[in-house]
Amino acid sequence: MAERQNVRLLLFVADGEPRTFAAIQNIGRALESFHERAFLLEIVNVFDEPERAMAERVLVTPTLLAPESARRLVGDLSESSMVNYFLQSLR
């Protein structure tokens, strides 16, 4: 288990939406408290990159996507237990 790779995460948000700010804060908090492994988080503004939203079929925002496992979590990530469970399950 020594050469664990960082798990890539994409957070699709709509710039200017109140939930965007909340989601970014919520995922930051969750990743900080999560010590078991490292994540690489990229934030995608759907209005800047609609093609990526289209390619990943992201119609609702915020959407947290783990592209390698094609799993996703939608919403402002305010339910921390759901977020932690999601992060844990990415193995």
Partner 1 sequence: MKKAASGIAGLDQVLHGGFPAGRTTVVIGSPGCGKTVLAMQFLTNGAVEFGEPGLMISFEESAAALKSNFSGMSFPFGEIVDKSVHLVDGRLPADTVQAGSFDLGGLIAIASSLIAKHDIQRIAIDGIDALFALSGPGAHRRRELQRLLDWLTESRLTGVFTIKGIEDEGGVAGHFGLAEYIADGVIRLRTTLIGELSRRTVSVLKMRGAGFEAGEHPYLISDAGIRVLHTPRRTEMAAEVLSERLSTGVERLDRMLVGGYRKGTTTLISGLPGTSKTSLGSAFLNAGCRAGERCLFIGFDEPAEQMLFDVRSIGLDLEQWLRSGLLCAESFTTGGAIGDEHYLRIESLIDSHAPTRVVIDPITALEKSGGQEIAGIVSERLVGLMKARGITAVFTAVSDSHLGEMEATPMRVSTIADTWIFLSFANRGGERNRTLTIIKSRGTSHSNQMREMLLSVGGIDLADVYSAGGEVLLGTARMEYEQRQMLALGAEEERLVRELEAIDAESEDVKRQLRSAERNLERLTERRSSLIARASAIGGVHDRDAALVAERRRVDPVS
Q: Which residues bind partner 1 (CB under 8 A)?
A: 12-14, 17, 19-20, 22-23, 26, 46-47, 50-51, 53-54, 57-64, 70-79, 82-83, 86
Output 22 or 37, the one with its CB closest to partner 1. Answer: 22
How far is residue 64 CA from its own chain's centroid? 3
Q: For residues 6 and 89, which CB has a smaller minimum distance to partner 1 in the complex?
A: 89
* Residue 61 · residue 12 · CB < 8 Å: yes
- Give the nearer residue to partner 1 in terms of CB position, either 1 or 70: 70
CA dihedral sign, ordered 40, 43, 46, 51: negative
DSSP state of 6: P
Shortest spacing between CB 35 and partner 1, in angstroms = 21
In angstroms, give the least distance from the CB of 6 to partner 1: 22
At closest approach, how far in Å is the CB of 57 from partner 1?
Answer: 6
Check residue 77 and report its DSSP letter: -
3-state class (DSSP) for residue 53: helix
